[in-house]
Chains A and B, each alone.
Chain A
Amino acid sequence: MTGWGILKSLWVTFKHLVVTYIEDLRYGKRRYFTPEGVEARRSSDVRGIFTVQYPEEKLPVPEAFRYLPFLIYEEGPDGEKQMRCTSCGICAKVCPPQCIWIVRKNDPQTGRPIPTPAAFYIDVDICMNCGFCAEFCPFDAIKMDHDYEIASYDRLSEHIYDLEKLAKPVTYYASIRPTDYALEEAARAQKGSAKKAETTAG
């Protein structure tokens, strides 16, 4: 019968419409503007509306999420920043759009390089968020951030990040990527103890 197919199509849309209200009634106030409600709207058995009201509501990002690199520093005993970066240059070499710029520090007396960066720049207009720098850094010194709200008014003055803007404490890293952090710390501890055993044995 002509028209039956259209009616069936309309029935599908009608069901979608009704389910939205049913779900709203079922969840009540918990459905919107609560972390629980956001989670419910992205689970595999979600029915009804999917929309997340950004920026009032935000989807939590998974741990693997990557957006712009940052440099990790550890706080020394009297609060000074100890950069993990040794300015080995692997991140600059592996970077596909070549947006990482590193100036190596040299000892003023001997002229020999010191394993810490004198300057470190990332042009965030060029960065393509591929995550290679973090993946291949042998010192766990550069990691990908979770903060994706970085809009600014002037690209010429604000979009080349320098050492100061890139440096973030290791505690911040531990807070955004707890699993990765725990794994890396365990590996470091193992490496450290192996080294210690070697020196005591030797």
Chain B
Amino acid sequence: MQRYIARRLLQAIPTLFGITLVSYIVILLAPGDPVSLLTFDPTIRQDERERLAIQLGVNDPFPIQYLRWLIGDDWMMVDTNADGQADAWGDNYGILRLDFGTSFKFRGSSPLKLISERLAASIELNIAVLLIGTSTGILIGILAAAYRGRFFDRFSRIFAVLGDAMPVFWLGLLAIIFFGIILPRWLEPQGIGDGRPLLPMGGRCPPVRGGCPPIYARLHYLILPALVSSLGPIAGWSRFVRASMLETINSDYIRTAHAKGLSKRGVWIRHGLRNAVIPLAVFLGPLMFSLLGGAVIIERVFTWPGVGLLLFDAVVSYDYPVIMASVVIFSVLAILGYLAADILYALLDPRVRF
């Protein structure tokens, strides 16, 4: 087992290298350069621009730039005063030593700090989505399989797919307007509520001083964004579980179990469900981490202050250090997610041997 993990970790190294290379190339292909973006200001003179270009190292050939970004330049002399002569030790440690530079937009802030400020919010939302998505999805899947071809099966199939087929930003906006304005204003004359939003129309915490209250005190802020973004996972899980269940209960050993006289419910739960759920574990890890970066739209609609929104803002304001730090960190988390999933699968499924 340890050898398996060690081997997988070693295999991750070239992937990691590939990720840094791809993200660096993508940024490099961007037309326009960071210098003119940073200095769109008539009070900045041309010589200052040139000095900045040299300090940022954008005039170096690509491999040098990439290496300075990757492993830092504190081991080499660099040109700081734009005279073409290397004159001082560099002061970047490189991303391998977790130095992602400083944000262009939030000058003085390291991208890591900006990302860590947002991580809690993202994890919160993702856990909620995972919990709602998997539990509801599995439940619907099992029931759909049990009542195959009956009304519930057909109804759940259509409903799950429908929720997944609406553009999520539109659905989110409709939900905000419905629960914030339409429903309360309709209920008020009936003597229910006072016409104020039934659920918060956005944000993660009540706008009061003293920091964010613990999560149980603000679960209602989580309801709309978590429900809207759960629709996709619910559709996916329920179809997956339904198929796995059907596949399992049609298999030989379940027939054997029946033949041995076990009750139908016992067979379903003991054998069917267990075997159907094992493959789910494979998807959990990657899903968890890909959600981190993929929630941009939900976070934007509901102003959920997660890393997705940070990345979006960084893209809009050409904050390259933050963009690249986010991409690299999301990717590393994704690799770890895949790794965890493989290990989990190996542990759960006795048929896999090392």
Q: Do A and B come from one complex?
A: no
